[in-house]
Amino acid sequence: MKPLKRLSRELVYKGAIIDLYRDKVQDQDGHIQDYDFIGHKGAAAVMPVTDEGKIVMVRQYRNALDRFTLEIPAGGLNGVDEPGIVCAARELEEETGYKSDELEHLITINTTIAFCNEKIEIYVARNLQKSKQNLDEGEYVDVEEYAIEELVEKVYNTEILDAKTVASIMAYYNKFGR
């Protein structure tokens, strides 16, 4: 099997957090089609685990879904060169008010590969120390703690739908949960 061949990539819109491109792509039979491509600088996320084994989650309003969601803390990299572990530690402190010097890689995901290169590195954070929340302007989150078994149940009953959160809960439960 051969790769598709990209003939051109043209920026058609520069957004607030994403850039949209129109690609001309040639398939193995020589046909040329337009593909959407969204360039994203990458992100990191973290599953913070308290000394009692509870998972620290954030609840916030998501404009793209028109509803509140329950998620693990996450945020965009400060530029494509920022290490994911540095971003994860920062977002942990900013969103939950906990610090950790004990971050361990869990999984990495590409969120939506049909049209976007967004990659999220996901860490488990332990040995949480109380610090203070420091949200971005316009960012409002509630911090809530759950047992991992409660979160697993919320995935299977479709109460939690966010892909990074679903993948992390399941990957954590498989590795550490029992």
Residues marked active site are found at: 137
What secondary structure letter does DSSP report for 38? E
Is residue 109 involved in binding its own copies (CB under 8 A)?
yes
User: What's 85's DSSP letter?
Assistant: H
User: How many other CB atoms are found less than 10 A from the CB of residue 178?
Assistant: 7
Quick check: 146 binds its own copies (CB under 8 A)? no
Triad 142, 149, 146: Cα angle to 5°: 20
Is 130 among the residues that bind its own copies (CB under 8 A)? Answer: no
Minimum distance from residue 98 beta carbon to its own copies (Å): 19
Q: Which of 8, 10, 61, 133 binds its own copies (CB under 8 A)?
A: 61
Rounded Cα distance between 128 and 92, Å, is 10
Could you tell me the smallest distance in angstroms from the CB atom of residue 108 to its own copies? 5
Piece of the chain touching its own copies by CB under 8 A; list 87-95, 96-104, 123-131, 157-165: 157-165
If binding is defined by CB under 8 A, does position 52 make contact with its own copies? Answer: no
DSSP bridge pairs for 17: none
Binding of residue 85 to its own copies (CB under 8 A): no
The dihedral of CA 71, 131, 16, 118: what is its sign?
A: negative
Closest Cα to residue 60, out of 158, 140, 132?
140
Extract the tokens encoding 177.
């949960």
Query: Based on CB atoms, which residue is closest to its own copies, 31 or 130?
Result: 31
Tell me whether residue 63 or residue 81 sits nearer to its own copies (CB atom): 63
Return the H-helix or E-strand segment holding 175.
Answer: helix 163-176
Applying CB under 8 A, the residues found at the interface with its own copies are 1-4, 6, 12-13, 15-18, 20, 22-23, 25, 27-29, 31, 33-38, 59-69, 71, 107-119, 137-138, 140, 142, 152, 155-156, 158, 161-164, 166-167, 170-171, 173-175
